[in-house]
Amino acid sequence: MEVWLDNRDNLAELSAYRIDCIDCLIQPIEGTTNTDLPLIFIDGKSLIQSGKVIGEIIKIDGSEGQSKARSLVGSVSWLLLEFENWSMIPIENIIAACVGSPTKVAALLRSPAEAQGAAFALEIGVDALVVIPDQLMINSAAIVKSQRGEIVEKTNIVKDNEEIKLQPLLITNIESGGLSDRYCIDLTSLLEVGEGMLIGSSSSCMALVHGETIASDYVPIRPFRVNAGPPHAYIVMANRTTKYLSELKAGDEVLIISSSEYCKSATVGRLKIERRPMLLFSLKNTNDKEAQIFTQQAETVRLVGTEKENIAVTDLTIGQYILGWSDPDARHIGAAVPSQVVER
């Protein structure tokens, strides 16, 4: 995604702005600017670059403007959308119309809040954000451009259906865990049966905690929720780093893994924190590494057995095996490092 600076009023002294994120400068056809940036000139409603008409400015003030834009899809390289009143629905409709065509969409922003919506509309987003000469606007566009780049290009974020190898963890002891501040993680998307999060007291050995997707006689399902545990527990994030539950916040992306070992990422929408009684499970992996996990003492909290069965923590017994994940590396501020750390 590109960021264009709209200098049609030919008033901006570019040296007054931090413009390293700017990909193109829009100028009136008669304008002159001393810049190394690529230029797009405006002649009436036409976008001109290197002497050729490459697109058209469309004013979106109702269904007529939207229809005009859609009628040009496939015949121009760019549609630059201007809004009488900012609205996401026309952007989404025009982006959808451009899918599979050579036409790209640029949107003129009037406030920083509009940048995120335009950049991620329909999970596709516009191809260019057009901002006025204002440093706050430029900074907002730069941040969103960076976020778009991370989502499109970041290879360390887990890909949907990528696999992570799970392994059996032996339960060696179960005891009361006292009272704790219990964190429920509510997501902005739904979980399927078999899906959950990797959580535990050790950053290198965690259990698969199942989502609240199983029907109960006592409470309705919450298919967007994982009852995760106390604040000190680690959780695996979508980029394979770890965080403490106490560090999580709305907007964070966490790793979702199924009992079939397929992964995806999901966004945290809310954290629900309440005082609850806990159980403490002592675990041992196949390399005899010891670890622990605290869970709320409740029938609705489930771990996953080695046969992919979902087992309420109140029904687990010493000697049973559950599914989990182990990592030989230690962690420093959530990142894996090749050093020795003992966690008890």
304-314 pLDDT tens trace: 999 999 999 99
pLDDT in tens, 192-228: 999 999 999 988 799 999 999 998 877 889 999 999 9
CA 186, CA 197: separation in Å to the nearest integer?
12
Instruction: Give CATH for domain 2-153.
Output: 3.20.20.70
Convert the pLDDT of each residue in 142-169 to its tens digit.
Answer: 888 888 775 544 434 455 556 678 999 9
Give the phi and the psi of residue 64 in degrees, each rounded to 5: -65, -45
Higher per-residue pLDDT: 153 or 279? 279
Q: What's the rounded mean pLDDT across residues 4-18?
A: 73
pLDDT value for 113: 86
What gap in Å lies between CA 225 and CA 274, rounded to an integer?
Answer: 14
**Which residue matches tokens 């982006």?**
95
CA R_g for the chain: 26
Topology of domain 162-337, CATH: Endonuclease - Pi-scei; Chain A, domain 1 (2.170.16)
Q: What is the pLDDT of residues 52-81, one digit of tens each?
A: 999 999 999 888 888 999 999 999 999 999
Domain locations in the chain as residue ranges: 2-153, 162-337
Q: Are 187 and 269 in contact (CB under 8 A)?
A: yes
C-alpha–C-alpha distance, residues 306 and 313, integer Å: 15
* CA atoms within a 13 Å half-sphere pointing along the CA-CB vector of 320: 20
Range in 40-44, 235-239, 329-333 the model is least confident about: 329-333
Following CA atoms 251, 254, 256, 262 in sequence, which dihedral angle do they give, to the nearest 10 degrees?
A: 120
Task: Band the pLDDT of 333: cuts 50, 70, 90.
Answer: very low
